[in-house]
Amino acid sequence: MEILLIKEGNSTRKGEIFMEIDRREFLKNSAVTLGAAAIGTGVSAILDSKSSLAEAAGPAPEYEIYALKYAGPFPRKLAMVLWNEGWEENIEINYYLWAIKGKDEWIVVDVGTGLTEAAKRKLKGYVNPLDALKRIGVNGSNVNKVIITHMHFDHVGGMEMFPQAFPKAKFYIQKKEYDFWAKHPFAKRVPFSFNADNLAIKAVADLEDTDRLVLISGDQKIMPGIELLYSPGHTTALQTVVVNTAKGTAVVASDCLHAHRAFKENNTSILITDLIGWIESYDKLRAKATSIDLVFPGHDISMATNYPKVAEDVTRLV
């Protein structure tokens, strides 16, 4: 406890702490302190008012998440999805897109591979992603938002068809991701070119400078209960999707993790652009998700086999 001692004339009273101030200075300082306290009270009232308004708005809406297999299964070596571990072990993967069901609309995450690229690559079991979405009633009339996690052919290729099929939709991509694939000369060089779909990249670029292409910089909430997370590593600026669900906070991680085992073991795949960024992205996803079981990978075959089936090759994840 500090005691301020006031000097009057030539006499000074002594106490626990020896501090001398002029009476006028003391009164002036007291007035400033009282004024600051009043301002602080006013600011607190404003903040409390805003908090009350936010609380009055109620909790974030809850969504359902569906995985739609549109191609596969494809044989791979385990080491492809688990950093150089298991070159002798064979696994299978699928290609997916996802749909998030809200109260009044659907949000599509990734657009799969386009018809042209699928034919070129002779994808096994390929279904037009638009037809896969129709199996659960997703169409141009009920989709306003399409999120592109990254611009590899198996996630962005459907842009060959989607802008026309979803005329009301806006397409959300990280600006750094778009700038690399649409504008950087390295995107046309090996090994990047292997994963490129030039037709789809052009379709995205055709939307630039329109209100249909939304370029995101970093983390951003795009609507109540839905947030985009900048999650680089696999590509320059992959983004993941944080979703509020009845089971807690889930993450549509796409290729931030190719297989769930990799995430559980805190390991990456070998398909890397930025290894440090990827490990940091893992930490970011762990901090967001209610549990690791609510973090959904990009190619794990279990999404088609371990969850309730609601239509042909469509499962409800949560």
Task: Find, among 183, 290, 213, the residue nearest to 245 by Cα.
Answer: 290
For 115-235, where are the alpha helices, taking DSSP H only? Answer: 115-121, 129-134, 153-156, 162-165, 175-183, 198-205
Q: Which residues contact 168 (CB under 8 A, 6 or more apart)?
A: 140, 141, 143, 144
User: Do the bridges between strand 239-245 and strand 226-230 make them parallel or antiparallel, or are there none, so unpaired?
Assistant: antiparallel
* Helix axis angle, 198-205 to 175-183, nearest 10°: 120
CA distances (Å), origin 299, targets 23, 73, 218, 278, 294? 75, 10, 24, 17, 15
The confidence score (pLDDT) of residue 58 equals 72
DSSP 60: P
> Phi, psi (5° rounding) for residue 52?
-65, -40
Per-residue pLDDT tens digits of the chain, which is 318 residues long: 433 433 344 444 444 433 444 444 434 444 444 344 444 444 344 334 443 444 445 789 999 999 999 999 999 999 999 998 899 999 999 999 999 999 999 999 999 999 999 999 999 999 999 999 999 999 999 999 999 999 999 999 999 999 999 999 999 999 999 999 999 999 999 999 999 999 999 999 999 999 999 999 999 999 999 999 999 999 999 999 999 999 999 999 999 999 999 999 999 999 999 999 999 999 999 999 999 999 999 999 999 999 999 999 999 999
Report whether the peptide linkage leading into residue 191 is cis, meaning its omega lies within 30 degrees of zero.
yes
What per-residue confidence (pLDDT) applies to 57? 59
**Type of residue at 36:** A
Rounded Cα–Cα distance for residues 235 and 208 (Å): 21
